[in-house]
Structure 1
Amino acid sequence: MGVDFHEPSEPYKSSTLIVRLSFIGVFLYVATGVAVYMTSGSFKGTTTFRPVDAVYFTMVTLCTIGFGDIVPDSTFTKIFTCGFILVGFGFIGFLLNGLVAYICDTQEAFLLSMMDENRYKNILSTYMVDEQKGRMRIRTKVCLALVVVIGCIAIGTVTVHYAEDLNWADSIYLSMTSVTTVGYGDYSFRTVIGRCFAIIWLLVGTLVVARALIYLTEYSIHKRNRKMAKWVLQKKITLSDLAAADLDNDGSISKSDFVIYKLKQMGKISEIDILQISKQFDSLEHGMYGKITLADLMETV
């Protein structure tokens, strides 16, 4: 078993691959849907310009909204749509979530780099950035995500108001039911202009809302983990804790034993993690002294 002195492949490279696959996947998905719906059967419901309807229906299917304003009208297209939904819900959804994660991570890195030259660095660092972990605070991500969601709803409301000739209340209602993928179907996009706008806006809006929900979930889990960590650190060690942390059964625990035990209690590491790390250490350590030396590393080259 050799030692790799090179750094593992950077996550950035895999992220850029996901971005490329996302665009290719969406293009193939939309192209396939348009080709099938343009050549096989027709739609029933509120139709406009057939190519626009085909792209619009494909995007509504991908976003799992299901307005019901237009639906397949032939047996073949109905069967095709069943499989089309599963593909969009699974594979394409995974790629698009990866794309959104990449965009969010890139934006976070940009904001962090900008703070080095910002005169309000101290204020921003206190409330927005976790300097110890070198990343934005989760509550900051939640706030930014909610701002973007509100922005998407606002853009949709204004556009729907003028493109679909709806009053402001109905425009807000349609925008909200669209980006949240509820899609009751009582209001939908019925004009060519409205559907052209919806093709892009629905995809962006639903992904933004999904990401905001993920951040909200992360925030909730983060708060729970912090409470757990605080309880573990304040908890006094007992005889049962001493016995559990005593890995070599010598009646005492070292500082490293104590740290590992506390991390396990906090849920930050598991027994499997410890065993895997220990196994890797044992594979590199040949002197039987409990240490990895330069000689050990040279033997594995």
Structure 2
Amino acid sequence: MVTMITVGYGDLVPQSALSKVLACAFVFLGMALVGLVLSHGADYLVEKQQALLIRALQMRKRFQPSDVMKEIESGKVRYKCVVVALILFVLIISGIVFLIFVEKLDALDALYCVCVTMTSLGYGDFSFSTEGGRAFAVLWILMSTICLGQFFLYLAELNTESSQNALIKWVLTRRVTIVDLEAADMDNDGVVE
């Protein structure tokens, strides 16, 4: 797991030819998975913006622009961000507590180890070294790095929300032209989906 997410503490290194080949495969597999997750994150933000625009245009036919904006500004993104932040906080605290009681680190070193692990920095000066610690680390590292990535995705989404709302206000208050409809026909089949 440590190899796949590129933490690399330096306390465990491959010795045999087979373990070196497997390490190479795992690190590239891990990086490919990170790339895939980032790609899905970008797709998610783009699809969310497209869906928001389509929803606003559809609602425009039935409601006044101010009513549409009230419906769109629901606070879901803020809620998701808070929930993931709370989960992240629990993961940080659980990692610190585990490192203090099982790995026998002091509180500052435990916090430091948690931070360099979750961010996949992994200097190698502290690591999960006991058998129980390594068993815990397999799941904890996976959950905490994914949760941290999810938190940053939601922060990015929260950051773009105000510009999306400004775009929707602009779309709702201007008249649709033939040029707009032609530009919305992405596959040039004469139909706007």
Partner of 2:88: 149
Q: Secondary structure at the match of 1:279?
A: coil
The structure 1 residue matched to 2:177, chosen from 246, 257, 279, is: 257
Partner of 1:174: 113
CA-CA distance at 1:256 after TM superposition: 4.6
Contact 2:185 2:191 in 1 (8 A): no
Partner of 1:279: 190
Aligned residues: 164
User: Could you list the per-position Cα deviations for residues 80-116 of structure 1 after superposition, in whole angstroms to 9, with x for gaps in the alignment?
Assistant: 3112211122148747x98xxxxxxxxxxxxxxxxxx
Q: Which runs of 5+ in 1 are unaligned?
A: 1-58, 99-129, 238-254, 265-269, 282-301
Query: What one-letter code is carried by the residue in structure 1 that aligns with 2:190?
Result: K
CA-CA distance at 1:195 after TM superposition: 0.8
CA-CA distance at 1:223 after TM superposition: 2.1
Partner of 1:195: 134
Structure 1 residues 175, 202: CA separation in 2 closer, same or farther (over 3 Å shift)? Answer: same
Structure 1 residues 94, 65: CA separation in 2 closer, same or farther (over 3 Å shift)? Answer: same
Contact 2:5 2:27 in 1 (8 A): no
Structure 1 residues 80, 275: CA separation in 2 closer, same or farther (over 3 Å shift)? Answer: closer
Percent identity between the two aligned chains: 26
CA-CA distance at 1:222 after TM superposition: 1.8
State the alpha-carbon separation in 1 of the partners of residues 172 and 119 from structure 2: 42
Contact 2:4 2:28 in 1 (8 A): no
Structure 1 residues 161, 131: CA separation in 2 closer, same or farther (over 3 Å shift)? Answer: farther
Q: Which runs of 5+ in 2 are unaligned?
A: 41-68
Query: What one-letter code is carried by the residue in structure 2 that aligns with 1:61?
Result: T
Give the 5 Å matches for 1:52-67: 59-67=1-9
CA-CA distance at 1:219 after TM superposition: 1.4
Confirm whether residue 225 of structure 1 aligns to residue 145 of structure 2: no
CA-CA distance at 1:188 after TM superposition: 0.5
Query: What one-letter code is carried by the residue in structure 1 that aligns with 2:29?
Result: V
* Greater radius of gyration (CA): 1
Q: TM-score, structure 2 length as denominator?
A: 0.70
Partner of 1:212: 151
CA-CA distance at 1:206 after TM superposition: 0.7
CA-CA distance at 1:136 after TM superposition: 5.4
What CA RMSD, in Å, does the superposition of the two structures yield over aligned residues? 3.4
Regions of 4+ moved over 6 Å:
none
